[in-house]
Amino acid sequence: MSAARPAAREPLAHRAWSVAPGAWVALALPESPCPSTSLGGRERRVADRRAGRVAAVVALRAAGLAAGTACVSRSHSAGAGAAVAAPAGWSAGVDVTPIGRVTLRHARAVAAAGEIAAVEAAAAAPRAAALVWALKEAAVKAAGRRGLGAMPEWAIRRVGAGAGGGWAELACSVSRARVLGGWQAVGDFVCAWAVAPPTRFCWFDRATDSRLRRRPRGAPSS
Amino acid sequence: MSVDPQVVAGEDLREAVRGIVAEVLMVPLGDVRPASALVTDLGAESIDFLDLIFRIEEAVGKKIPISRWEAFVTDRLPGGNLAREITTAVVVEFAEQERDRPLA
């Protein structure tokens, strides 16, 4: 019989920061060393999803937005949860990844050598693989897509570092959509996000997950 | 766990995939049943699926681009709830497909 639900009620510390006008990212981490890593299967998923929900509440509160009228993306892994909340009409995606979980092999499966090198140059090399993964995952989610196959479509075009984190611009080779990304390293995790206001775009039909072949009327050319 | 690609026929491949799923997702082998949904039942994340592909590559002795997994899922589970519908049996089916795929 599995343990009672201590992991589901594990105290979570949270923090939030603004990533664009009206858009906030929040991160929820276990206050003590994460028991989620010792859980398996459904138990781990329950604990992780709770962290994602907490992060979503914190992000919405920080942004001053209501759940039903905001663009929200959530992520969870190894006991940590992350969320980005942006005004309705924006595109936003977030990913939280344990730094040690992603190897160069994983990164090479979804990114070109030049992208990995650029991220290594901007951020500490041990984090590069996790950053590449998290940035691409965030961009895919911002575009309303899903799955491993979409990650190689998003190229990390430019990248720069700041205090404890950095920024990136990603572009989709298929749709030519672009998003502004960023990251923060917090403890053993990296949290990455990708956002685009309504005047930019992600050219995917969210309802059908189908690509729009033409730039939507009124969208800018770059 | 390394799997000898020469013994991945029939039942051996099914059991090999069960073992791979259990190891990658860090769940007891007994929890990995054909109908077990990798995401909702076994807690799989996106990077876990990449690890599964890597391990299946080793099991069948062939390089497997991500695009092949994506194409398989799209074709096999069109418009479905992937969190619930990617089961151990689906992963076994993919591994069998890749094992039987002729080398280019």
Instruction: Give the whole-angstrom CA distance, residue B14 versus residue B7.
Output: 11
pTM across the whole model:
0.86
Question: What's the Cα-to-Cα distance from A164 to each of A23, A117, B102, rounded to whole Å?
Answer: 19, 19, 48
CA distance B8 to chain A (A): 24
Task: Look up the ipTM and state it.
Answer: 0.87
pLDDT band, very low/low/confident/very high, at B10 (cuts 50, 70, 90): low
> Is 90 exceeded by the pLDDT of residue A124?
no
pLDDT value of residue B79 = 75
Which residues 6+ apart lie within 8 Å of B94 measured at CB?
A: B56, B69, B72, B76
- Does position A216 have pLDDT exceeding 80, yes or no? no
Instruction: Give bridge partners of residue A20 from the DSSP assignment.
Output: A23
Residues 6+ apart with CB under 8 A from B91: B17, B21, B38, B52, B56
Given an 8 Å threshold on Cβ–Cβ distance, is A147 in contact with B39? no
Give the pLDDT confidence score for residue A123 in this predicted structure: 83
Over the stretch A168-180, which tens digit does the pLDDT of each residue have? 999 999 888 889 9
pLDDT (tens digit per residue) in B32-72? 999 999 998 998 999 999 999 999 999 999 999 999 999 99
Three-state secondary-structure class, residue A28: strand
Does position A214 have pLDDT exceeding 80, yes or no?
Answer: no
Q: Work out the average pLDDT over B69-96.
A: 90
CB contact under 8 A, A45 and B40: yes
- Substitution target in B50, B73, B85 with the highest count of A β-carbons within 10 Å is B50
Which chain A residue has the Cα nearest residue B45?
A77
- Best interface-test mutation with B: which of A42, A73, A106 has the largest number of B CBs within 10 A? A42
Tens-place pLDDT, residues A14-67:
999 999 999 999 999 988 765 555 666 777 788 889 999 999 999 999 999 998
Percent of chain A with pLDDT strictly greater than 90: 60
Mark which residues 44-63 of B lie under 8 Å from A by CB: 45-47, 49-51, 53-54
Residues of B in contact with A39 (CB under 8 A): 43
Tell me the pLDDT tens digit for each residue of A134-176: 999 999 999 988 888 899 999 999 999 877 789 999 999 988 8
Predicted local distance difference test score (pLDDT) of residue A30: 87
Nearest CB to B66 within list A41, A43, A149: A149
Instruction: Quote the pLDDT of residue A183.
Output: 95
Q: Do B43 and A44 touch (CB under 8 A)?
A: yes
Partners of residue A110 in chain B, C-beta under 8 Å: 50, 66
- In chain A, which residues have their Cβ closer than 8 Å to the Cβ of B71? 149
From A145's Cα to the closest Cα of chain B, the distance in A is: 12
Q: Is B75 on the interface with A (CB under 8 A)?
A: no
Question: What totals of helices (H) and strands (E) does chain B contain, helices first?
Answer: 5, 0
Euclidean distance between CA atoms B30 and A149, whole angstroms: 30
